Structure 1
Amino acid sequence: MSEQPPTPAPTPAGAPEPEPIRFFGTSWLNRDNGYWPRRVGVSVGALAATAAAVLVLRFGIEGIALSEDGTFLNGLLTAAIAVCSMMAVRRTWKVLTEGRDQLTGWMAEDKSLGAVWLIGGAGSLAAYFVRSLVEAPGEAVRRAAHERAVAQYEKRQAGRGRRPDTKAPGRARRKR
């Protein structure tokens, strides 16, 4: 006879619900319902996407090299791709570990940096891959937010249990 994993207790009405994560839904909360195969799938997918992005960038660099415009231009292009990738890695890592609301300055949503994020896409995918080896990407941020919300909910519920009931029968307030 196989043992069934414990089913989580149903959340009471008004209790905070966990926010879903792409590819994982809310299975990250208890790490059930196929969480581990999804983690493997996300890791493999992110690695494959990173390899494809690097291959596309390599074709671009080789295209410039074939034009015989010189090694300076080829080196400049390689350096630009490296810088864009490092910026994208830093931004993606910060989003996955600290949350999107912690982005400030040049990392914040800025439409003028769209080309930088596009060119650095391989770096961003690599950061996503590395983070998926540790946890579901973004899980730490969502877990911390959920735990804060549950703690606040429990604190409110405990506070309601200690207050005297002012609407109890026989205790009606009289107007003067």
Structure 2
Amino acid sequence: MSDSKAAKPANTADTGDAAGPTSVTGVTGAAEIGTVTGAAKAPGAPDTAKASTAPPQPEPIRLFGTSWVAHDRGYGMRRVAVAIGSLLAALAGALALGFGLMGLVRYGPGVTSLGVAGFVACAVLGFSRTWKGFTRRRPPAGHHSTSSSASSSTSLYALGFVGTLFAYFLRTFTEAPGEGLRRAEYEAARADHARRRAARSGNPAAADPRST
């Protein structure tokens, strides 16, 4: 009887020892897995630190790329080509519209005059919108306008493509179309980048954008 009573607590102690390490190991393993999973970085995630310290890049212009920055890589020849191409396209468009308006002659001079006036008005609108777009950004699509009014305005500007082409022709005499706007934005971005870099490094000389 005494032997059986003494053996029973021993079995109980053995069971507790076997369960104890298993439970602790499971918790420890789960903690380690959670730590590793939390510390892992998602593949392909952008490096925000590098993105914030990267210098600004110039915005390319259609048919010019970034040659407008230093006026290299055939910048002058590109301006000549754009001037000649836009002028020829404007003349061809005007000629095509002239042939189209000839079909209105059979309806009388009044209808013909209205057609001519309409196309001239559209050309003026297209010229004005394009010329303003060379010096300031256009508002986003649908800004302060409904979809119906936006679509009607787009149709009017499309009919005024001759004025748009003529605006490109005239602008190439002074710069690449839109160069002044992009240069001002680029220089402002460079100055802002230089100030932020100077604030991080504590070097006032780095605030001069010409040193970058």
TM-score w.r.t. the length of structure 1 is: 0.77
The corresponding residue for 2:56 is 16
Q: Evaluate the alpha carbon distance shift between residue 33 and residue 151 of structure 1 in structure 2; reply closer, same or farther with a 3 A threshold.
A: same
Counterpart for residue 157 of structure 2: 117
More helix by share: 2
Q: 1:82 aligns with which of 116, 120, 126?
A: 120
Task: Calculate percent identity across the aligned residue pairs.
Answer: 40
CA distance in 1, matches of 2:56, 2:139: 20
User: Which residue pairs with 1:7 in the alignment?
Assistant: none
Unaligned runs of 5+ in 2: 1-52, 204-212
Report the CA distance between 1:112 and its aligned residue: 2.1
Report what 1:130 is aligned to.
170
Gaps of 5+ in 1: 1-12, 164-176
Structure 1 segments of 4 or more deviating over 6 A?
Answer: 102-106
In 1, distance between residues paired with 2:155 and 2:139? 22
Q: Distance in 1 between matches of 2:174 and 2:92?
A: 22
- For the 8 Å contact 1:99–1:138, the answer to whether it is kept is no
Please provide the CA RMSD for this pair: 2.1
> Could you tell me how far 1:161 is from its partner in structure 2?
2.1
Aligned to 1:172: none
- CA separation in 1, counterparts of 2:62 and 2:102? 35
Q: Specify the code of the residue in structure 1 equivalent to 2:127.
A: V
Give 2:184's aligned residue: 144
TM-score (norm 2): 0.65
2:56 partner amino acid: P
Please give the secondary structure, in 2, of the residue aligned with 1:22: coil
Which of 44, 47, 68 is equivalent to 2:87? 47
Q: Which has the higher contact order (CA 8 A, sep 6+)?
A: 1
Hey, what's the Cα distance between the residues in 1 that align with 2:81 and 2:144?
33
Seen in structure 2, the aligned counterparts of structure 1 residues 83 and 75 have a Cα distance that, compared at 3 Å, is: same
Mapped to 1, the partners of 2:108 and 2:137 lie a distance apart of 42
Larger radius of gyration: 2
Q: How far, CA to CA, are the matches of 2:137 and 2:89 in structure 1? A: 23
Number of aligned positions between the proteins: 147
Question: Is this contact kept in 2: 1:95–1:102, CA < 8 A?
Answer: no
